[in-house]
Chain A
Amino acid sequence: QSVLTQPPSLSAAPGQKVTISCSGSSSNIGNNLVSWYQHVPKTAPKLLIYDNNKRPSGIPDRFSGSKSGTSATLGITGLQTGDEADYYCATWDTSLSGGVFGTGTHVTVL
């Protein structure tokens, strides 16, 4: 059972914005850096955000990340049909001495 909580699903129309929350605790998000991944089943997960708010090269600026206290947020603006996927937050958990993923959020583009 994951220690990072995300909403199970979100939906929005093309061109709109979605915000995905990731709630943790002081042992994980509160004191470590957060990353975000996009995952279409049966394909390789893709890194969208690392170090809370940095984008790897090739990731459009429609994707943004932020962190406040023990929660993190992934924002996706200008939604496209190709953005329909599962999204996961991840970070290190100091108490567990290991990595943890969020429960995952499925984004549907209406």
Chain B
Amino acid sequence: QITLKESGPALVKPTQTLTLTCTFSGFSLSSGGAAVGWFRQPPGKALEWLALLYWDDDKRYSRSLKRRLTIAKGASRNQVLLTITNLDPEDTATYFCARRPEQWFAELFYFDSWGQGTPVTVSS
């Protein structure tokens, strides 16, 4: 059974840096073709893709947020971190992580297992 769970602070101040952790089980990010993505949904708005980390440590980022995002493997083999710098109230959202099934084609973009999401509010 594949599970993913997001964790991180619920409230952060503007200009601060946010680090979110995705802890997963039931699959290995070391397996060829595997990938984990981060997404968010601001209140009342659509889902938005943020970043993708592949098994070989290749990374892709949303072009609009690229300068502020870093995705990386965590200290534990079953964790993926997302860091967002220079936070703004517009970053208030529920943040999700999800697994992309093992596919050798990097541009295959679909996710079959998702976490429940973690809400983040950016406010002073």
Which residue of A is nearest B106, CB measured?
A92
Q: Which of B92-124 contact A (CB under 8 A)?
A: 94, 96, 98, 107-112, 114-117
B67 in the interface (beta carbon within 8 A): no
Contact A44 B37 (CB under 8 A): no
A-B pairs with CB below 8 Å: how many?
68
Residue among B62, B107, B108, B111 with max Cβ neighbours from chain A (10 Å): B107
* Complex Cα gap A78–B84 (Å): 42
Residues of A within 8 A of B47 (CB): 37, 39, 45, 88, 90, 101, 104
Q: Which of B54-86 contact A (CB under 8 A)?
A: 60-63
Q: How many residues of B contact A (CB 8 A)?
A: 24
Residues of A within 8 A of B62 (CB): 98
Q: How far is the CB of A41 from chain B (nearest CB, A)?
A: 8
A96 in the interface (beta carbon within 8 A): yes
Q: How many residues of A contact B (CB 8 A)?
A: 29
15 chain-A/chain-B pairs, Cβ below 8 angstroms: A33-B109, A45-B96, A50-B112, A51-B110, A90-B47, A90-B110, A92-B108, A92-B109, A96-B63, A97-B60, A98-B63, A99-B37, A99-B52, A99-B60, A101-B49
Chain B residues within CB distance 8 Å of chain A: 37, 41, 46-49, 52, 60-63, 94, 96, 98, 107-112, 114-117
